[in-house]
Structure 1
Amino acid sequence: MKQHLKFIILFAFSLSACHISAQSLRKLMERPFGIVESKWETDTQGNQELNYYNEDYCDYYLYRMSDRSYNLTPGKNTIFKIEKNASFDNPFKSASSYKHYRGKFPANFQINTPYALPVKDGQKTGWQTDPRESVKTLNFRIKEGDLVYATRSGIACKTTNPRQLLVYHADQTFSAYLVMSENFIQPGEEVHVGQPVGKAGPSRVSISFFFLDENKFKGGESSGYPYSHFIPVFRTTEGDVKLKEKTIYQAVVDDELIMQDMSKRDKKKYMKHKNQK
């Protein structure tokens, strides 16, 4: 009887832990309260503007059902204007069904863009599918308390859980770092590939790579979950490869990978600084 009760308790605890972790990506993708707000305002010329204020550091997609939708960059976005003394029908006067999604449709997504492994240059790791997440998420072999390194450069978005990190890349893709015990990065901070971003938790660290998929909005209608997840190629001593699950690889973080998302100006500054050392 005691053994049976012990099994029930352990099973219930296991289900509870899985449930908590299974919500981690879903919770991370929730936009913080009040992060996007709309206001009717009058400009200096007396025109009426419908402005959306995006208080995050990544783009948002304002999806209006069966109507025109808009990309919202960080800061002020004027999506509609009524000229002073103009006499025409305002299409925004009626209520409309709409939603906000993080990101915008990538203009030039390349599946072969190389990423760094989430460990220090020269260290080894492998991954396996995280069964606690409902979409493809890679759980990397990193010991609890060890440093987690950025797999690609970008900007840190705001999240509701301070121990989670969401990085928005130059090509409008995301990397979500889950179940870390500590997050070193503040929202709005620039993240550089190979930079320590946190510490692994008791269940190591899981990372999901994804983008807002235009194909999920065909015909002006949303088909449910709007993102597509992918497994990128990683730079290793074996070259840029798509990692086999449960196989160990050695990380490589070289100049080419570091400068991949830099502007020409920043590349020159990086190389000049490096040559001066």
Structure 2
Amino acid sequence: MKNTINSLIVAAALSALSVCADAQSFQRILERPVNIVRSEWEYDNDGNQELNYYNEDYCNYYLYRVNDDSYNLRPGKNTVFKRMKDAQYNNLFNRATTYTFFRGSFPKDFNINTPYAFPVKNGMQTAWKTDRRESVRTLQFRMLPGDTVYATRSGIVCRTMLPRQLLICHADYTFAAYLAMNENFVSPGEEVRTGQPVGIAGPTGVSISFFFLDKNKFSGLEAAGYVYSHFTPVFRTAEGDVKPVERKMYNALVDDELIMLDMSKREQKKYLKSKK
């Protein structure tokens, strides 16, 4: 009887760990919360008929329609079609089609050499290795369980399915998905700054996947399979900005220049003034 109880306890623990790992996997973090994007046929104040998509997230979505135009859905109301009152032409949206929503927009001014911060405290040493648990390129950083995880770049926190998941969209529409954390400090809609504490590392440290919605993955009239591309950023270190070699140790550096990278001139001025 005792052995049976112990076996059940072990099985439950392994099941819980499996659920936890699955809940923070990259594929799970891409899932859309229920009804996060919805469509409504509505009339404006002048009696014109509109097809509006409401994006309740804080990050963009891409509405991909086969054999038709596709649309970037920004947070809030997006009017994608308007039929003027008493117009005689047909409603093109009455045609049958298939459509899919994807997180993100095609990158704006994407530069592979844009420097990022390591997800560790300024001055701390770290290294990365490929996270073999993930099916896409993901960097697992060397950290101790319970260490603070820091934002690698400024951006806005997107909505996800579970509270410990963390997905941040950057100014150029690239993303960073923070996986395997024990705790998440920031909330959807919050703007984070490079080097800001965002969570607590789990038993295996923290894993991060850097990716973007790739226009080249949309071929002809259909999305060509997996539509995201993943990359390893350049990171700022005490030795300069480097493309880090796997398993090699580096000294993290988070300076004002890196923190202000995505700020407007007005924001930079305010930030420097706050430091005096």
TM-score when normalising by structure 1: 0.92
Alignment of 1:1-277 (within 5 A): 17=18, 20-21=21-22, 24-274=25-275, 277=276
CA distance in 1, matches of 2:74, 2:130: 33
CA distance in 1, matches of 2:125, 2:20: 30
CA offsets per residue over residues 3-57 of structure 1, 9 Å max, x none?
A: xxx9xx99xx69x849944971000001111000000000000000000000000
CA distance in 2, matches of 1:44, 1:21: 47
TM-score when normalising by structure 2: 0.92
CA contact (8 A) 2:37 2:53 kept: yes
CA offsets per residue over residues 74-120 of structure 1, 9 Å max, x none?
A: 00000000111111110101332000000011121100000000011
Quick one: which amino acid aligns to residue 272 of structure 2? Answer: M
Quick one: which amino acid aligns to residue 195 of structure 1? Answer: Q
Q: Displacement of 1:270 after TM fit?
A: 1.0
1:3 matched residue in structure 2: none
CA distance in 1, matches of 2:142, 2:221: 41
Quick one: which amino acid aligns to residue 253 of structure 1? Answer: V
CA distance in 2, matches of 1:219, 1:271: 48
CA contact (8 A) 2:24 2:165 kept: no
Quick one: which amino acid aligns to residue 272 of structure 1? Answer: K
TM-aligned CA distance change 1:21 to 1:250, over 3 Å: farther
CA distance in 2, matches of 1:23, 1:195: 21
CA distance in 2, matches of 1:206, 1:22: 14
CA contact (8 A) 1:19 1:132 kept: no
Unaligned runs of 5+ in 1: 1-5
**Number of aligned residue pairs:** 267
Percent of pairs with identical residues = 64
Quick one: which amino acid aligns to residue 223 of structure 2? Answer: S
* Secondary structure of the structure 1 residue equivalent to 2:274: helix
Unaligned runs of 5+ in 2: 1-6
CA contact (8 A) 2:117 2:253 kept: yes
* Secondary structure of the structure 1 residue equivalent to 2:253: coil
TM-aligned CA distance change 1:18 to 1:76, over 3 Å: closer
CA distance in 1, matches of 2:121, 2:175: 21
CA contact (8 A) 2:22 2:28 kept: no
CA contact (8 A) 2:60 2:103 kept: yes
Quick one: which amino acid aligns to residue 214 of structure 1? Answer: K
Quick one: which amino acid aligns to residue 120 of structure 1? Answer: K
CA contact (8 A) 1:149 1:197 kept: yes
What value does the CA root-mean-square deviation take over the aligned residues? 2.0
CA contact (8 A) 2:24 2:180 kept: no
CA distance in 1, matches of 2:268, 2:251: 26
CA contact (8 A) 2:38 2:54 kept: yes
Quick one: which amino acid aligns to residue 218 of structure 2? Answer: F
